[in-house]
Structure 1
């Protein structure tokens, strides 16, 4: 067969990208960077939540994830309810048509198999199920790559998630507890591997060397209302979290510390603004960080970080800055333990300012030791991400002679 007649490899990426969550976008960026370096011949595109943002920022054609544009808004009127219902049917055919055009589709990282935040089964769990089902029916290999997973209480969501995972051609997880969660849900994980979060593949600035004057403290905040199974307690949980975070930031400001508030999603900005207003100190400001690269720059310049969102933690740990997790789920605890920081976790649901300050001061006392530990752990994690990409290539992109043989078969 003439090499000039070979069809290019078509690879799609699928997920809630371009919708205001920097962690999701960072996972997309890591996979696109890898594909462009390893498979420069591949034709790439995306099916995602914010196609205009993805197309502009990452330079790939993008298709909207849902036909109905109000998919993630609460539907109360008849027109909206009808639109959502019709959209579910239309999305079956839209997803199948998109999947058919690809040799492989990658779902890169993020917590696509968990419900640590409020989530309806007919939202993204349904979209993921359609992807994996049509991939299996149409012969397109779907890969769930270094994804997060967790126990799911809601039965419809659990069923959709279990079948999505079973139908995928390739699965790997960002931590062992994610694989354990899927095994407990009845998925055969015997051949599934654990690697690391894909964001660890992104380039990062070096952590700033400690200087004579104290640097800022970065405090990552979140629009936290509990998990999908805690909807009835959502406002109580949010109020307790916001009060604890505000008291902690106020205590730092009263000590004369500069505080930079970080966010990880557009939904977090009102929380940051509320803390600034409540503390009322010029020492407390909100960082304008639109991407994980921006977050890494902020955390690299900090003396220490206290953060809630999972990928705020990843950014801080990756650049080697001493970090305390205001943890809202087991995935944060697992990440901190993996990076040698297991002693520095505080539950977001019980944000208690005095105890948080005690842990923070202990972290700062051990800053030099912690930085050395993080350098060592980052080397280990970087190797695991490289292993993930090698395993993905072997699973999805067989040797060229095998591809040619398949394409030459009548």
Structure 2
């Protein structure tokens, strides 16, 4: 009997971003259903949280614990520098122990939010380079990408993608971006976001409720000079929109998608000061799915807030901060309901919101159809993943099926 496959999962998992963790949950569900013999562990941002929630061993992604804090003192700068060298050895040693490493979803090939090249892009490059050198298959599964202007970040992302053994994307925009950055994508496929594979928990309907997903939004990598101005405009417009809903007697539930969004929720609650406006305590993507399933309508900024609403079949309006949100809304038949997060106009947002609600019944039917298609496409995705990463399992499965046919009367 062969030893079980050793499968690693890699990324900023367990660090407070619910979308990232939802992608991990979808991949773990696939592995447990199709490859229950696989021994799975993680190299991730929040190992304690991943082990507690998903029951798999996990190791800290970075040796230096202050990796994502700004280094202003000499000691911190030296610690970060040393950490880069130590992480090269640690990552290679971790990769060597595995037959396959999966990067589950996430926007690992994009810089739509502020990002330094020597943070996660460097960590991803170490992973993919180690995989190529040590002959461990590294798979970028259902990932997001976008064209990157910053040269060091673009170089690290491009080489990471080139060195990976398998790539698939969550939208055509991502594949096009990687092709534009010099990656051969001829064999790469596009499938719906991995979170569409998650089940929708049962939820008691809350008639009239509007979920508003907020974000600690300061623009992207190219907006650093205007970050505070962009944030003020976003917060002011979103607050005015929530206040208008409360003034009309609507129940509003504020949603987040990352631990860093909490101050935005607090600022809106303080400014609106209405018992009709409350904050949801969502600790997982399942919690977000339940909240959005119960609502009449969703207005949201974070990408995976939108995914949850659309997966739950609830009409949604995107406060779009990146092309990925526009692509998602187009895929699900709601392309007309996008509003720029950088320039939130509360009056225009209310107009779009009312148009959305007028078409609610029609849009719910559209979402049902699109979700059925997404489920079929993700089944194909997981089958393709098995073929690419577990060829022996695929062969054994086919042999067993053939044998069963021969034995049947």
TM-score by length of 2: 0.95
Gaps of 5+ in 1: 404-410
Q: Report the equivalent of 1:321.
A: 314
Q: Report the equivalent of 1:383.
A: 376
Q: C-alpha separation between the residues in 2 aligned to 1:145 and 1:48? A: 16
Q: 1:96 to 1:257 in 2, by over 3 A?
A: same
Q: 1:35 to 1:394 in 2, by over 3 A?
A: same
SS at match of 1:399: helix
Alpha-carbon distance, 1:205 to partner: 3.1
2:161 maps to 1:165:
yes
Q: C-alpha separation between the residues in 1 aligned to 2:8 and 2:381? A: 18
Q: Report the equivalent of 1:246.
A: 239
Alpha-carbon distance, 1:351 to partner: 0.4
Q: Report the equivalent of 2:95.
A: 99
Q: C-alpha separation between the residues in 2 aligned to 1:322 and 1:150? A: 26
What is the total number of aligned residue pairs between the two structures? 396
Alpha-carbon distance, 1:208 to partner: 6.2
Q: Report the equivalent of 1:117.
A: 113
Q: C-alpha separation between the residues in 2 aligned to 1:83 and 1:14? A: 23
Alpha-carbon distance, 1:18 to partner: 0.4
Alpha-carbon distance, 1:402 to partner: 7.2
Is the contact made by 1:108 and 1:145 (CA closer than 8 Å) also made in structure 2?
Answer: yes
Equivalent of residue 398 in structure 1, options 384, 391, 409: 391
Q: Report the equivalent of 1:310.
A: 303
Gaps of 5+ in 2: 397-409
Q: Report the equivalent of 1:406.
A: none
Q: 1:368 to 1:402 in 2, by over 3 A?
A: closer
**1:9-68 Cα shifts (integer Å, max 9, x gaps):** 000000000000000000001001110111111100000000000011100000100000
Q: C-alpha separation between the residues in 2 aligned to 1:170 and 1:195? A: 14
State how 1:7-26 maps to structure 2 within 5 Å. 7-26=3-22
Q: C-alpha separation between the residues in 1 aligned to 2:258 and 2:149? A: 25
**1:167-220 Cα shifts (integer Å, max 9, x gaps):** 0000000000000000000000000000110000011136766x8xx4210000
Equivalent of residue 359 in structure 2, options 345, 359, 366: 366
Q: C-alpha separation between the residues in 1 aligned to 2:187 and 2:394? A: 25
Equivalent of residue 257 in structure 1, options 250, 266, 276: 250
2:232 maps to 1:232:
no
Is the contact made by 2:111 and 2:221 (CA closer than 8 Å) also made in structure 1?
Answer: yes
Q: 1:199 to 1:262 in 2, by over 3 A?
A: same
Q: Report the equivalent of 2:38.
A: 42
TM-score by length of 1: 0.95
